Structure 1
Amino acid sequence: MMKKEELIKKWLDHDLSSEEQRVFEQLDEFEQLKKIDNGLKSIDAPEFNAKDEFSKLQLGEKHVKPNGMKLLNSVIRIAAVVVLGVSIFYYVINSDTKILTEIAQQSSIVLPDNSTVKLNASSSISYNKWFWDSNRDISLEGEAFFKVAKGKKFNVITEDGIVSVLGTEFNVKQRDGIFDVTCFEGKVAVEHNNTSLTLSPGMSFTIIDGKQVAKKNDTSRQPTWLWGESQFSSVPLKYVLMELESQYNVEVDHQGIDTSRLFSGSFSNKNLELALKSISIPLNLNYEIKGNTIILARE
């Protein structure tokens, strides 16, 4: 797929094909760029006033020379193009790159400093690649595993807290009601509300429904979702089911089920039947699959 910057350049050159135009109009920046373009087109409006002013500068000449008028119009057009180009340039370098995954999709991203991000299903990150060398800030919604190259401070910003490192490996999960940070290598600084702490390898910081949850040290080297398994330790069932919906294109009907019950265990992200058995058997539940709906019921 053509890069965003190339699409914008071709748009400026009025050189987009019909398919490229369709892709261009789906860019997050499209509406703003269109507003800038429409606004700058108004620069042509003062042309009739410009003619009057040009006439006054002829020091007594009764008529404006045609060549002079053409020159003035050319200058106005060039100025408009320059202003438009500069505006778009500053808009582009100040806009963030956003990457998102859909249900049952994962993605690997290499950042400008060769740090890597593995994005779990139904998640997104955004960052500014133009100023990355001086500002390694990345916004996260969902879950991601980071391998950070050594350098200036690297900040992962979520709605629930900020995770800061210099160079390390760690996992951050921020979904509705859950904020979880696990350090796998190096040290990780976590800020949440008025709490600040540093995690060493194997340590986690977990908030569920606004309360901090104690967790045992994790001796693994990476989060289990990287190899296709979602793991939980004393997590309310409702969050387990939410993760199931993120990993599969399904909706879980759990009416009549106590979803505040705690679940410890894991389920496969690659086999729905196996995943449902892993959840339902320990909790003495039955399940039925109807299209994209999973119906849970007590035995």
Structure 2
Amino acid sequence: MEREELIRKWLDNELNPKELQLFKELDDYADLIRISESVQKFKPTSFDTDLELDKLKNTIAHKNQKRNWLKPLSAIAAAIVVLFGVYYSFLLQETEVSTLASQKQEVILPDNSNVSLNSLSSLSYNEKDWDQQREVKLQGEAFFKVEKGTTFNVKTKTGLVTVIGTQFIVKDRDELFEVICYEGAVRVDHNGQSIVLKQGDRYIKMAGTIASQTKTKRQSPSWISNTSTFKSLPYSAVIAEFERQYDIKIIAKDINSKQLFTGSFIHNDIDIALKSITLPLNLEYTRTNRMITLKGE
């Protein structure tokens, strides 16, 4: 992804965990952060970042005919975009927490509700309006322990999960959307349809189709205890989760990634974990540095 697009998405709080990692790897990442921290008290009346950036680009192109100022002026343009973007983000009081591959993190919300983020996930919320509206935006997977009170909403790109006081997980990754209620009740709204889940209920959609509505006896998701567990899920979902938990790339050759898998793997021993996801399907694997190749027999 181009540097400019990364900066734009950062300003709009639209970076997913992978894009956030790319943004942090920019050569001038530290400078951008320092600029953002220095403009917290700046108060412009109005500013259209896209329009002003286009104007600056035109100015840069014109002046470049006379002098080779393109590089420094481009940096100035980016700094101005960052300056105003950070200012508006500050006004909105938006707080975002993200995790990297193989990382988990606990978040305490303003009402003392507890959120545990799984690897490569992000959570954002507005502290300023929290008393009026308890709402978070989620990309990835998280386990919620919600304090009783007003309605609590979890918004994802796939659907809306609404609760009052309960414990549940929401997973929204690629074409997999899953909600499990461990305590209390939650309502899932998607495409004009609504379903209420009670303790032990599990709701899954894969590629937009309801795959199952089953029960679970667990009191919390297994990944809280550093184990990923799967029940009749496509093998592609298993591979993707393995990559997130071990920060490694898996190449699957001549393997039916749509076949369903039931099993688990631990997060603290890659050799044992590999055997757990390959032996049940009679798969072979080779491992080189940060890459694993899976092969069928």
- Contact 2:205-2:212 at 8 Å conserved across structures: no
Q: Which residue of 1 aligns with 2:219?
A: 221
Q: Distance in 2 between matches of 1:27 and 1:147?
A: 35
What amino acid does structure 2 have at the position aligned with 1:137? E
Aligned to 2:275: 277
Once structures 1 and 2 are overlaid, which stretch shifts more, 172-181 or 31-40?
Answer: 31-40
Query: C-alpha root-mean-square deviation of aligned residues, in Å?
Result: 2.8
Distance across 2 between alignment mates of 1:198 and 1:34: 45
* Residue 291 of structure 2 is aligned to residue 293 of structure 1: yes
**Structure 1 pair 90–26 and aligned structure 2 pair: CA distance change class (3 A):** closer
Shift of the 176–26 alpha-carbon distance from structure 1 to 2, 3 Å rule, reads same
1:26 alignment partner in structure 2: 33
One-letter amino acid of the counterpart of residue 198, structure 2: S
Partner of residue 253 from structure 1, selected from 237, 251, 254 = 251
Identify the match of residue 150 of structure 1 among 148, 151, 156. 148
Correspondent of 2:205 among 178, 185, 207: 207
Give matches, 1:7-46, under 5 Å. Answer: 25-26=32-33
Note the residue ranges of structure 2 that are not aligned, 5 or more in a row. 1-28, 48-84
| 2:162 alignment counterpart | 164
- Equivalent AA in structure 2 for residue 26 of structure 1: I
Aligned-pair distance for 1:92? 2.1
Task: Tell me by how many angstroms 1:120 deviates.
Answer: 0.3
Runs (4 or more) in structure 1 with deviation over 4 Å come to 27-40, 87-91
Aligned to 1:16: none
Matched, 1:123 2:121: yes
Q: 1:297 to 1:129 in 2, by over 3 A?
A: same
Tell me the percent identity: 38
TM-score (norm 1): 0.72
Q: Provide the rounded CA distance (Å) in 2 between the counterparts of 1:168 and 1:191.
A: 17
Instruction: Please state how far the C-alpha of 1:24 moved relative to its aligned partner.
Output: 7.5
Equivalent residue number for residue 186 of structure 1: 184
The CA deviation string for residues 26-77 of structure 1, in whole angstroms up to 9 with x for no partner, is 289669969966989xxxxxxxxxxxxxxxxxxxxxxxxxxxxxxxxxxxxx
Q: CA deviation at 1:89?
A: 8.1
In our comparison, the structure showing a higher alpha carbon Rg is: 1
Q: Tell me how far apart the structure 1 counterparts of residues 35 and 121 of structure 2 sit (CA, whole Å).
A: 17
CA 1:36–1:255: 2 relative to 1, 3 Å: farther
Report if the CA contact (8 A) 1:288-1:295 is conserved.
Answer: yes
Give the TM-score taking structure 2 as reference length: 0.72
